[in-house]
Amino acid sequence: MINIGEPKLEGNRLSNKIDVPDNFKHHLNESEFFASYDVNIDADESILNIPAVCSMLPLAWYNGLDIHVGSIDGTFLKSMKVLHRKYCEVYPDLLFETNILVDNVVKNVVEGDGVALTFSGGIDSMYSLSRLHDLKPRLVTLFRFTHRSQHRGFFDKIVGHYKERFETEMNVVDTNMRELTKEGNYTYLAIRQTPHQIGALAPMSIGRFNRVFTAGGGVPIYSGLAVDERIRVPDIEDNFAWADLSVRVHGFFYRHEKFPSIIEFMDGFDGLKIQTCWFPSLFGGARIEFDFNCGNCPKCASGIIGLLIRGRNPNHYGFDVDDSTWDKLKNGFNVWGHFRRYIVPMQLFIRENGMPEGDYHGSRAFLEWFKEAKI
């Protein structure tokens, strides 16, 4: 059994001691969960415990361990049972039972009517902001989740870029949720995304918001990649809830279809940049030697090509494309494997709609190749 210790709140830094059975200790990098908020936190213990429980649920689900916690919100408790059952339907390696054992189940209300949107600056969240900005969503981004702890300076630059331009409030949660446990196999990585990213918001929701939007990051229909597509989909993650708050997955469709709305929205700002690169997430120890995006990873490729097929210059949206970009992308297609799900629909788009306008540092010749390439 995993035991979640009493929540400790020092200023706006929340922490819980985590205890796991001896034979699971090697799964942990640290023995204490923490989340530091940049807003005042004033919530019942049954809400404060949600992020720590969420940080350990994926390990419990994956290994069939029970979790014990002193108190927890009743709506959250029910919603995690539904989420677990839905994940079990999708991932055949999740066959075990997990019980959340609670001494005190509490009914809460958030007492807020605002809207929050998880926002990294990537393509999916930029699209969701472009569609939801009339709701004036509070943007929430998690440090150490999309960016590794070694890249704090880079992360601060990204957040500063958005804070300068957006009128809506933007909050940072600094949490070790992702770093607390060791990286696992694909199923483990897939089922931890939502509990980590959404669960971290629970303490700050009190008095502020009762709706959370999170961007759908998959594609609904693409042959042969069924499991990979289901990281964040409405019929699973819409079940996430606590108190009287609801969660909605927004914009669950092909990535390339999001660009017209993204472009229209971004053109309304002075030099607004997308930050979609995988590099800060994967290569924690490496130095970041680019401004916003490396231009040489699958996520950057889908951003660059998504803009090109709409006739736009990627360099106006946060990329740094030059003559050397195209050979790097061609080579990447050979090794990126499952990222075909982003790339192939864009290829089909050109075949159906013809070559787009514009030629940026040789992008036209690249797209001519891309249109017919076997990738």
Binding stretches for Zn ion (CB under 5 A): 277, 279, 294, 297, 300
Closest distance to Zn ion from the beta carbon of 354 (Å): 28
Tokens of 308: 């090109």
Nearer residue to Zn ion within complex by CB, 294 or 367: 294
Instruction: Output 279 or 336, the one with its CB closest to Zn ion.
Output: 279
114 Cβ contact list (under 8 Å, min separation 6):
137, 138, 208, 209, 210, 211
- Least Å from the CB of residue 277 to Zn ion: 3
Reduced 3-state DSSP string for 69-101: EEEEEHHHHHHHHHHHHHHHHHCCCCCCCCCEE
Interatomic CA distance for residues 245 and 111, integer angstroms: 10
Shortest gap between Cβ of 278 and Zn ion (angstroms)?
5
By beta-carbon proximity to Zn ion, the closer residue of 76 and 292 is 292
What is the DSSP pairing of strand 67-73 with strand 2-4? parallel
Q: How far is the CB of 336 from Zn ion (least distance, A)?
A: 11
Q: Please say which residue, 231 or 277, places its beta carbon nearer to Zn ion.
A: 277
CA distance 24 to 53: 16
Distance CA 61, CA 192 (A): 10
Comparing CB distances to Zn ion, the nearer of 162 and 279 is 279
To Zn ion, the closest distance from the beta carbon of 59 in angstroms equals 29
Kindly state the smallest distance separating residue 170's Cβ from Zn ion, in Å.
Answer: 22
Task: Please answer whether residues 215 and 125 qualify as being in contact, where contact means their C-beta atoms are separated by less than 8 angstroms.
Answer: yes
> Closer CB to Zn ion, residue 248 or residue 328?
328
Rounded Cα gap, residues 238 and 144, in angstroms = 24
Q: 364: which DSSP letter?
A: H
Burial 150-174 (b: 16+ CB within 10 A, else e): bbeebbeebbebbeeebebbbbbbb
Q: Residue 254 Cβ, how far from Zn ion at the closest point, in Å?
A: 20
CA-nearest of 179, 115, 157 to 277 is 157
Are the CB atoms for 205 and 112 separated by under 8 Å?
yes
**CB nearer Zn ion, residue 47 or residue 300:** 300
CB 274 within 8 A of CB 303: yes
Task: Return d(Cα 196, Cα 27) in angstroms, integer.
Answer: 16
Please state the closest distance from residue 332 (CB atom) to Zn ion, in A: 10
> Toward Zn ion, which CB reaches closer, 193 or 281?
281
